[in-house]
Structure 1
Amino acid sequence: MSKTEIKQVRCAIYTRKSTNEGVNEDFTSLDSQRESAENYIASQKNQGWIALAESYNDYGFTGANMERPGLEKLLKDIKDGRIDCVVVYKVDRLSRSLLDFTSLLNMFEQHNVTFVSITQHFNTNSSMGRLTLNILLSFAQFEREIISERTRDKIAGARKRGKFTGGNPALGYDYDFKSKKLTINTKEASLIIKIFKLYIKERSLLSTANKLNEQGYQTKIHVRKGKIAGGVPFNKLNLDYILRNVLYIGKVKYKDELFEGEQDPIISDDLFNTVQEALNERRTVQRKKWAKTGGGLLSKIFRCEHCNAAMVYNYSYKKNYKYRYYMCHRVTKSGFDSCPTKTIAAQNCENTILDCLQKICDDQRLKLEEWTAYTDEQKREIMRSIVQVVYYDAVDPTIKIKLIKDPQTYQFKINLKQGRVYRPREEEKTNKQPHIRLLLLLAHQVQTMIKEDPTKDLKTIASWLNMNYSRICDIITLTLLSPAIQEEIICSDDERLLKVPEYKMRTILRELHWGKQLEKWHALLHKYSAVRASDSALLTS
C-alpha cells in the first residue's frame, strides 16, 4: 500500500523592527524572529512545510502603513505564485493597522496563501480564527496609537523646555551629540546675519535670494539616510523659512506659543522684529492684491512646458494702463533667469489660445457672438469645462492643447512672446487717499446714520454696505480714537498716512487714555519717517 503524497507548503518568513537600534549587532532582532519562525516551520515538516531561503526583512520601518520594501517584495512574490504561507513572529510584525491588515488578508485569500503567527496560535481558514486575529490586531493598533500619543506628549514637553527635538539643524547651528543641544556654527551664523540685514535693504525675498546666489551662497547641507540633501540655491520659500525662524533669537516654537530655547541667539530681537514687520506688511499687500485679481481666463489650466510649472495670472499698474500677464511659477520662486518663458502678455495669449480652440473644438459657446456676451467668470468656467491643460514652450515656440473629452494633443507653432496688448484702467485715481482716512470717514458716516434714525442697527447697515457684522464693528471702533488723532488723519497731508496699515490702529485703540493714544500715534508716525534711517543703521552695524 503506497503512502499518501504530502503537498509541499512554501513558507515565507517576514520580519520587521520599527527602529534602527542594534542594526550593526551580530545577532539582531530580525535574526531572532527568523530563527523562531524557522524552528516552527521545522516542527511542521510532516505537513510538508519548508522555509524559503528568500529574506523579507524591514529594519527601521513602522507597521502603521504598507510602504516597506520588504513587504512590497513579499506581496510581489505572492502575486507571482511563489509563496503558499506567510509566517511571522507576531501579528503586529506584519501590520499595526486594522484596515491595512484586512486588505492584506483579503489579498492572501485571493492567492490561496495562509497566514501564521508562531506566538499567537489561530487558523485564518475558520471564522473563529479570523475573529481572534481581528481582536489581536485591534489591540495592536490601540497600542500603536497609545505610543504615538506618548511620543507627542514627550515632544511637546521637550519643546516647552526649549530643547531640540530632532530633525535637521537649521542653517547657523550644528547639533552637539554630547550635550544634545544646538551650538552656533560661526561661519553659517555670519551668513544668517547677512541674510537678515540684506532683506531689510532689499525688502524683497526674490531680490534677496538672487543677491545671495550671485555671491555663491547655498542652503545648509545635510546627510539624510546616507544621501546628501540641501546645498541648493536660495529661493523665496527657503528664505522665508529662515527669516521667520525664531531659533535665531534663542526661542523655540510649539504650536502658536514661544518658549525660551537652550540654543544661543544669533541675531538681536530688534533686527528679527524689524524683518517680521517688513514681511507681514508685504504679505498683507500681496493678499489684498490677489483678492482683487479674480484670476485670468487660463488660470489653473495654463502651464510652462519647459519648467512643468503653472503659469500664474497677475497684473500691475503703470501710468494709465493695467498690465495683465501670466508668469511662470518657477520665476516667482527663483527669478527671471530660471525660466525662458518668464512672462506672457495675458490679452494676446488668451486671444491666441481662444482662436486655436475655435479651430479644434465645435462648442457653440466659443463662437465670437456667444463668447462676448459672457462675463469673465462665465468665460473661465467655460474654458475649464472644455480644456484640460494648455502647455507653452518658449524655447521652440509651441502651444499644446489637451481637451477634456478628446485624448488627442493639438499643437500650434505660435510665439506668444510677440506683441503685447494692454487693457486700460477702468478708473484712474488722481489722488490716492490713505486707507485709514477712508475707514474713519466711513465710521463717522455709520455713526451719523444710527443717530439720525435709532431704528437702524449695525447689522442692517452692514447688509446695506455689503459687509459682515464683525467687519463693520471693527471699523466703527475707530471713532474711539483721540480727537487730535482723528483730526490729523482726516485733515493732514502727511504722506506717512499712506503707509499706516489698519491693524496698527488696533494697538492704539487698546489704550483708553487719549494721551497715551497720542504717544503711540506719534511713535508710529516717527517709525515710518525714520524707517530708512533705521535700515541704514542696521546695515552698518
Structure 2
Amino acid sequence: MKTAFGYGRFSTDRQREESIEAQEIAIRDFCKRNKIKLLEFYADRGLSGTNDNREQFQNMLDEADKGKVDFVVVHKLDRFARNRYDSAVVRKRLADHGVKLLSVLENVNDDSPEDVILMSVLEGMAEYYSKNLSREVKKGMYRNVEKGIYNGGFLPYGYKVNNETRMIEIDDYEASIVKEIYNLYLDNNGYVTIANKLNERGLKTKRGNDWTADTIGKLLKNEKYKGTYFHGKSKVIRNGRKQKVIKNTEWKQEETYPIIIEAEIWETARRKRTMNKPKGGKKHNYLLVGYVKCKKCGANYIGSSSAPYENHVYRFYTCSKHNRKKCDAKIINADMLEATVIDFIKETFFNKESLNEYINEGLELLNDKSDNEERINSLKKEIQACDKKLDNILDVYLDEEMSKEKYLARKNKIEDKMQYLQSELEYLTTTAEVLTKKDVKKAINYLLKNVDDSYEYKKMMVDTFLDHVIVDDETFEITLIYNLFRKSCNFLCNDDSTNPYSSKKAFTASPPLQIN
C-alpha cells in the first residue's frame, strides 16, 4: 500500500477557510478512498504561507527526505505554499526523494504535462490572492498610521494604547521620565550615569528590566518622541525574515505619534550624540574575555580601560554587574591576570615531567571511540543552537532593537564558536586513523618551537588550554582543559598579594622544551 504524510495550515489573516481539523478529516478521507496509508498529519496554526518558518512543515519535509512516503497530501494547494517559486523548490525537493504532491480539492499531480500547467495556474491564483491580501492589509496599516491608531507591536516607553479607541496616547508618568532622561543628557550626564540614577530609584523599563546604557541610547535616538514615525522600514522576504530597505519619504508620517519631546530639544540631543560619538580610537585586546567569571555573583568579567594618563592606558577586568552597583567585586589588573594565566598554562603543560603523563593518558582517551557518538550528537545540538542564536540576533537587529556594532560583535562571537564546534564534529566523524605518541609529540613540539609573546600566540594558548577562570578578591581559580585530549585539570592559584592591582606573578613560566 502507498503511504503519505498529510499537511494542513490555518492562517490568522483569512476569515473564511477550513479549520485544521476539517483539513485533516478531508485528507484522511481522501487517503482512504485512494487506498493510501496516512502515516502522520502535520499542521501549523496561525502562520501564513509566505512564511517558511513553519516548524511542522519543515519537520514533514525532513521526514519526507528520508524516503519514508510516496505522497504528501494537502487539502488545497495554497496550504502548501503561496507563491510558485517556493512551491516549485519544495516540490523539486520532494521529487528528488520520490515523493509526489497531491491535493484533495484540485485533481492534479506531477505526472502529466497538463497537470503541471494546471498546478501552475492554481498556484498563481493562490499567489495573487496572497499578494492582494497583503496589499490591502498594508493599506489599512498606513491609514492607521496617519490617524495615530495602534497597529500592534511594542510601544516605546512613554506611550500607551486607549483600549476603547485603539489610539496611541501619552502615559503621563512614563512621559515625565522620558523628559527627565533628555534633560539629564543635555546636562552632560552620560548613558551609564542616567541608567544608574533611574535604577537607584527602582524604576524599570517597559519590559520590566533595569535601565542600561543601551536602553538610554535607544530612547534618545527614537524619533517617535518628537512625533515622527517611519512605517515600512522593512519587508518580508521569501524566507519569512525581515530585510531592511532604503527609507522612503512616502513612509514618513509627521506628528502621527503624540509629541513628548519638542523637535528642537530632540535635535539638540541628536547633535550632542553626534559630537560625543567615539572617533575610533585605539582598541585594546583582552585575552580572557569570555573565560573569567565572578565568584561572588557568577557574572562574566568584561574588559575595560582607563583614560590615557601620562601616555599610558591601564587595562582592567571588571565584573559586568559592578557598574550597575549589583556586585562589589574588586577590579583586577588585566596585565597581571593575563600573565598569571599564561604562566600557569606554560608551567602546567610545557614542562617535561608532566607532558609524558598527559600524552599517555590523552592517547587512551583519544583512541577510545566509545563515547564519540554521544559527543557527536551533543555537538550537532550545540551547532543548531548557535544557528538559532544567529537567526534571533539577526531578527533583533533588523527590527532596529540592536546597534550594528553590537550585532556584528555577537555575530562574530557565535560564528567563532560554531567554527570550533564544526571542526571538532568534522574530526570525530571523519578521522579514522588512530594517533600515535609520535604524532602528539610532533604537534606539541610545534607549539613549543613557536613560542612568542604576540597576542595571537597567547590567544591560541588560551583557546587551547583554558576552560575558565573564577576570580575572587584574593584568589584566581583556574580550570585548564587540554582540548586535544578533552581532559580537564583543576587548580587553585592563590595570589599571595593583598593588593588586587599587584603585578606580582603567581607562577614563573618554564622555558620552552623539546620532547625527545
Do the two structures share a fold, i.e. TM-score over 0.5?
A: yes
Q: Following superposition of structure 1 onto structure 2, how do residues 348-363 of structure 1 map, counting pairs within 5 Å?
A: 348-362=336-350
Contact 1:123 / 1:129 at 8 angstroms: preserved in 2?
no
Taking structure 1 as reference, are residues 365 and 12 closer, same or farther at Cα in structure 2, changes over 3 Å only? closer
Deviation at 1:201, TM superposition (A): 4.4
Partners of 2:303 and 2:114 in 1: CA distance: 57
Query: What's 2:209 paired with?
Result: 232
CA RMSD of superposed structures (Å): 4.7
Deviation at 1:87, TM superposition (A): 1.2
Contact 1:386 / 1:404 at 8 angstroms: preserved in 2?
no
Taking structure 1 as reference, are residues 187 and 282 closer, same or farther at Cα in structure 2, changes over 3 Å only? same
Q: Which amino acid aligns with 1:380?
A: Y
Deviation at 1:189, TM superposition (A): 1.6
Q: Which amino acid aligns with 2:258?
A: D
Provide the TM-score with structure 1 as the length reference.
Answer: 0.56
SS of equivalent residue, structure 1 residue 413:
strand
Contact 1:14 / 1:88 at 8 angstroms: preserved in 2?
yes
Q: Does 1:371 align with 2:365?
A: no
Q: Does 1:407 align with 2:394?
A: no
> Percent identical across equivalent pairs?
21
Query: What's 2:307 paired with?
Result: 316
Deviation at 1:107, TM superposition (A): 6.3
1:263-301 Cα offsets, whole Å, 9 max, x none, are 2211233433343344333333xx43xx312424x1666
Query: What's 2:218 paired with?
Result: 241
Taking structure 1 as reference, are residues 301 and 80 closer, same or farther at Cα in structure 2, changes over 3 Å only? same
1:91-128 Cα offsets, whole Å, 9 max, x none, are 44234575687468646865x7553223444445x596
Deviation at 1:347, TM superposition (A): 0.8
Deviation at 1:414, TM superposition (A): 2.9
Q: Does 1:394 align with 2:384?
A: no
Question: Higher relative contact order at CA 8 Å, sep ≥6: structure 1 or structure 2?
Answer: 2
Taking structure 1 as reference, are residues 365 and 34 closer, same or farther at Cα in structure 2, changes over 3 Å only? closer
1:117-149 Cα offsets, whole Å, 9 max, x none, are 23444445x596997699679859976995799
Q: Which amino acid aligns with 1:49?
A: I
Q: Which amino acid aligns with 2:337?
A: C
Deviation at 1:232, TM superposition (A): 1.4
Deviation at 1:218, TM superposition (A): 0.9
List runs of 5+ in structure 2 lacking aligned partners: 234-246, 351-443, 505-516
Q: Following superposition of structure 1 onto structure 2, how do residues 325-474 of structure 1 map, counting pairs within 5 Å?
A: 325-328=316-319, 330-331=320-321, 335-338=323-326, 343-362=331-350, 371-372=452-453, 379-388=454-463, 391-394=468-471, 397-401=476-480, 405=484, 407-414=486-493, 419-420=500-501
Provide the TM-score with structure 2 as the length reference.
Answer: 0.59
Q: Following superposition of structure 1 onto structure 2, how do residues 218-229 of structure 1 map, counting pairs within 5 Å?
A: 218-220=204-206
Q: Does 1:19 align with 2:96?
A: no
List runs of 5+ in structure 1 lacking aligned partners: 1-6, 221-229, 373-378, 424-541
Deviation at 1:185, TM superposition (A): 1.5
Contact 2:10 / 2:47 at 8 angstroms: preserved in 1?
yes
Q: Which amino acid aligns with 2:168?
A: L
Query: What's 2:416 paired with?
Result: none
Deviates more, 1:54-63 or 1:203-212: 54-63
Q: Does 1:197 align with 2:183?
A: yes
Partners of 2:299 and 2:485 in 1: CA distance: 21
Deviation at 1:62, TM superposition (A): 3.3
Deviates more, 1:351-360 or 1:96-105: 96-105
SS of equivalent residue, structure 1 residue 293:
coil
1:292-333 Cα offsets, whole Å, 9 max, x none, are 12424x1666454776757335343346753212345x44xx
Contact 1:123 / 1:130 at 8 angstroms: preserved in 2?
yes
Partners of 1:106 and 1:211 in 2: CA distance: 57
Contact 1:249 / 1:267 at 8 angstroms: preserved in 2?
yes
Deviation at 1:261, TM superposition (A): 2.3
Partners of 1:135 and 1:243 in 2: CA distance: 51
Q: Following superposition of structure 1 onto structure 2, how do residues 68-83 of structure 1 map, counting pairs within 5 Å?
A: 68-71=54-57, 74=60
Query: What's 2:273 paired with?
Result: 279
Query: What's 1:252 paired with?
Result: 229
Taking structure 1 as reference, are residues 154 and 325 closer, same or farther at Cα in structure 2, changes over 3 Å only? farther
SS of equivalent residue, structure 1 residue 272:
helix
Q: Whose radius of gyration is greater, 1 or 2? A: 1
Partners of 2:128 and 2:224 in 1: CA distance: 34
Contact 1:86 / 1:114 at 8 angstroms: preserved in 2?
yes
Taking structure 1 as reference, are residues 74 and 263 closer, same or farther at Cα in structure 2, changes over 3 Å only? same
Q: Does 1:167 align with 2:153?
A: yes
Query: What's 1:494 paired with?
Result: none
Deviation at 1:154, TM superposition (A): 5.2
Partners of 2:348 and 2:128 in 1: CA distance: 59
